[in-house]
Structure 1
């Protein structure tokens, strides 16, 4: 941690102060596993270690891992909330609630320069100027930016419009000037004072305050009409109407309503969904729904409070009032949480809740759709191959002996239609001399299922062999030797025509070329091929490196492995200094190796 903090052993938890603050738990590897906040540090931390307290299994598991407790005292519970949020965001401990939202959001930047520009960006560099946002959607941001550019003639160029460069006639007006979108400050056609007056109005709109801009355009419209400049009056009227229409579209409650935040939570067994509405002058300026993954069976109050602090921090909210849909017996000091029962504010809660429920429904239906799709493909495969069981466990074999060297094979495993990478296996061919695909296939299939039978592990529901009838026959021979033929369905997929063969049929099985089931078999075959080729490439590379080293007098297998493990590649060994090599393998061997390398 960057901060110097008092630390305690778990058994000394009763020595903690009875003050507000943040506590941090570390495991045996001195890794931070949990950050928490407390109104009273001693009471809160002690509750984890009090055996009479009915804590859940997940929390008990975490408590068993705690080896050290660090604390930071703060002035209030609200300060503890903010510090907790910053620490979680920075360190992402194992047992803290996860807010599933890894997107970067767009901002509008008002630059800190002569004749400031307003443009969108996802990078926040405070020295560049003032940032407005972040916006939950690019569309809503573009709507605001479009409104501002329709109301004011702001420059979009990147020129340095310092008074010295303008007076030195460094620039010429561009097309934007001729189109009427810019008043040509680059050539001195617009003074900075007038430009900054427009910027001040634009800044108020970005803050959600439409009143000043409305008054300005209304006043200008009346002035133009009074001086009989009807064309100018119409232009100001159009801009005034644009502001009114924009505000009316986003207005949901009384425009005199102060700025406030609305948060609602919908909870499931393992997840919760929180919607956030930001309201300014009666208009929704932001709507965002996030998903939180529960870690320690946290209460809805705890989950919602976490989301409130993180989202307000992320979207830079300073609203004094926060509306929520669940009851907090006591609001944290410094944060006013209100659960409205009637009126406009209750309608906002209902609107926010509607968004949270819709997000939850979409998430769950998307997850179900994914499950249905997997089952649909497997059901189709079962039908296409006339299998008696759903092939929810498929294993596929492939050989690789490029240029006749390092003959190897691979086996990949798919469960429920997706790769089960922990089950993947590599095989060195042991009993076959030379490149013999058929004998190699028979060997690896025999070794794989002899082992599964011996270890009493579940057998696959389908075996796929990458190759035609020859390789398939070899695999069948291995299954016969193990008395497994007929108990596990087996097919081969020929490389050239993508045809599927069964041992029982002379002709290929017909499967529609556009079928999802054929695509699944092809995907499994391609994965087996990739896995075998990667293994083969690694072996050849390793062999080449070893042979270079073993050619040096005094360098044996163990020394070669030690060098490669340390330097990672032969190229890095060549680039190493004499001292580095000698320090690793000793004076005699090191000197011989260095002399051999330096002579090349």
Structure 2
């Protein structure tokens, strides 16, 4: 804990309730965080207030604060402008900082014969033709890929003319993405003509319409140049395939950016799609590390991103979810761009499709960092949004009850962490508080015992000492209502929902005390929730069958005169099975704790078929 916390708290209480910027410093007088506030006193006091539940990132920052300065401004907008300027100047370690790694990229066309078209990060004095420079490596990669596919140019490692006629052509020839010079059926002159056309295509100096290519193909066929006609046919088909691929990421808004975030725990990733002339021309990914709240992180990201790209602010920015202060952010962007900039949160249609695609890419980027698949990250993201949670639920607990007409009543808890089963955290509960069948009372008992253990072990932060981000009950509103009083009795804030099945015992929806939330339309969420429901049901049924089997075996032994529940349990604990009890001698039976010579004789007589 910071030993200066009381001093800092008192200083924060003396701040005015006016807009401004606050500057946190460590003992070495280094600036470690810069923030803005509508009311300085309220905002800064939150950092040093007693009992605040900070995120790990904020907690670490507060522990390092030796002192703070502040600058008053006339408005919150002025505070935003000043904050951006100071962050750019000092680069504090606890602010979201984006690395501008935009270098120069080129398209390289090697010197013929048998030229190759590829990407290059810098020009070299190798006699090649270089197109560029371009600031986007992604744009160059897309352009080179399109040119090679449309014109059927080789991308393999074979060397020409040395390897012409040696070996079979690769797969690209058979899927009509390469003219395969390795077959020896195309001359060097024809090949260079194709490369020249591809270079014209990349320069944008010569349009290649399907109509023109079709006319050339028909002319070649009339001249009996069937190989040439076939290559032109393949080129037409390649253009159609590329066009279909581009339609997926086309926008009716000519110039815009699309920004989306994916989050797992405190880590987050942001993806930016940039559109020009309605076509996706650039794509950027950023790992943010630890963040506090998503709206705050979105606000900070947009500020940092367009501080880094001041000349590239589009007229329209589509976002997946709102930032902390959309109106203020829009004003700041418009001021920097010198024109109106519109921030929007699309809810349906083409724009929503683009946002969802952008978010899926952010989830994939984050998945690579946290060791999960993109689908798992996306499922948790979407589940959190559907349920109205502040962040995706990383740690999910699920509960179910199993019994046979009220006998051998058990409860089960399974845990999913980051979308996967965490079997080391599974727990079994034998219902002890009552006899008979009452699933609601059983759930109340199970959750009471679970959160009583939390109070005892919360300092460890592990096992029962860890609070779940979400509880899913196998059942509907009744099951949810049965356990909510437990949550309230312990003063906790844990969201609880039920998993509802249809008449075919398949997961249908998620429910709270209020309305149901349909999940069938959201495939990733449907799969995740179905997996959780099936797993908790399987685990509960398995424990119940195990307990029922032991009860049946125990009741067999209890049919022997003088053998009650305690002795039956002791015998099974020692010998493992009834068969081994049957084979034991009187001496071995007498040696079991709780047994005596008379009881051992009764067991032997029972299995030997003798009267006792």
TM-score bracket, shorter-length normalisation:
0.3 to 0.5
Report the TM-score, using the length of structure 2 for normalisation: 0.39
